[in-house]
Amino acid sequence: MKKFIGITLLVGLITLLYILTKNTIFNPDSLSLSVTTSILDEEHNCFNRSYKQIDDSLLGAWDSVFALSGIKNNPFAITLYFIKYFNNFEQSSNSRFFSFREIVSGNNTNAISSAIATCAIMQKMGWDFQFFYNDNECYLGINFTEDWQIRKGNWVERDGKSYFLKEFDCITPVGELKSDNPSETYRCLVVKSKDLQPVPLINSLPVFGSPDYEKSLVWYYRGSRYSLTAWIPKEQVRWTANLPVSLHGMVASGVFEFNNLGIIDDIRYLIKDYDEYNKVNFIFKLSQSESIFVYDNKKPIKSITNQLIEGQNDCDGRSIFLYCLLHILLDYDSNDMVFINWENHLAIGLRPQTRTAEKLLKKEKAEYVDGDYYILDAAYIGDTHWGSKMKHLSDEYEIIK
């Protein structure tokens, strides 16, 4: 936590020094745009000023700081950083629009100005962000790559692209809105560049502080009881709460989350003498343990960390939990694993890597899809194993890779 605060202060200092050297009291950008006031609305004027005020030297300074914090080339993490950064300024009740320089030099902003500044920064970095607003609401709009597999959320279509809406805070998941009746139409900004890139899967987490919570994990396999304690950083709980409701988006984050919980080496030790078939089933039983998770089919997909904290999930959440562990512990990748999506149900399909496992699966008459992906259904508890399938599930399904 101390390191994260230190990085925040460092970025703030770099930005302030930059502003001072650029002589912010006299702002030439505001003069150059004054003649266009009658043409462009205030939102566009504010965005244009902020966009011009962010130059390569400032981007380079930020880039160095993000490298130290472990989030370089991670636009989702950088977005959350700037949301937190601007929310730390004094929040003005003034309805005027503050440009980036005015925010930093005056230590004062409001929600719409902060969101516009963040949008300007992310676009200047080359990422596909928009700012959506009406008289009562304002949001960041984020264009994600398709491999996030976002399952639910509010978005706006612009120019053939889906921009998922993000409240300007660090507690609300992308796509979830505080407004009970969001508007059907929003105004948006004129994009400065035509070469903006969608936001890819995250490739790191920020540096979090010492663990604040502990979670006891208890499960059984082949008549033996196993138990471990996961140590969970509070900041990781809050940070991952912002993730959109997605499959591979949660998996990408989950891999890094697990590495912060202090249990991976212990599980690896417990399965080191097992063959592939038993390693998979051992991890399978951990993932479906009712002492760890209460099943709730109304629960939206949440991060690995928040699933553990809440002690609740549904078939989607359990499948993501299991997928992450199989990837981390047994090196299965997207060629070996798929999500199997039936109507109102989700499980994993796993391709065996050894002849021994394949023979055992065939001997057990295990259920499979698409030829060689054997079913792993973490929501199907009881005397179940790799290849068990609920009888009511149809032969109509979708494979999600």
* Residue 369 DSSP SS3: strand
Torsion region of 365: left, alpha or beta (phi above 0 gives left; psi -120 to 50 gives alpha): left
Domain map (residue ranges) of the chain: 2-188, 213-400
Length of the chain: 401
Radius of gyration of the chain (CA): 24
Beta bridge partners of 229: 216
d(CA 301, CA 307): 9
Residue 29 burial by Cβ neighbours in a 10 Å radius (0-12, 13-18, 19+): middle
With b for 16 or more beta-carbon neighbours within 10 A and e for fewer, the 248-267 pattern comes to bbbbbbbbbbbebbebbeeb
- End-to-end CA distance of the chain, in Å? 36
Q: What is the pTM of this model?
A: 0.88
Q: What 8-state DSSP symbol labels residue 148? A: G
Per-residue pLDDT of the chain (401 residues; tens, 9 = 90+): 445 445 555 555 555 445 444 443 333 333 333 333 433 488 899 999 999 999 999 999 999 989 988 899 999 999 999 999 999 998 888 788 999 999 999 888 999 999 999 999 999 999 999 999 988 899 999 999 999 999 999 999 998 999 999 999 999 999 999 988 888 889 998 887 789 999 999 999 999 988 899 999 999 999 999 999 999 999 999 999 999 999 999 999 999 999 999 999 999 999 999 999 999 999 999 999 999 999 998 888 999 999 999 999 999 999 999 999 999 999 999 999 999 999 999 999 999 999 999 999 999 999 999 989 999 999 999 999 999 999 999 999 999 99
* Residue 73 DSSP SS3: coil
* Residue 337 DSSP SS3: strand
Q: What 8-state DSSP symbol labels residue 173? A: P
Going through 112-154 in order, the beta strands assigned E by DSSP cover: 129-133, 138-142, 150-152
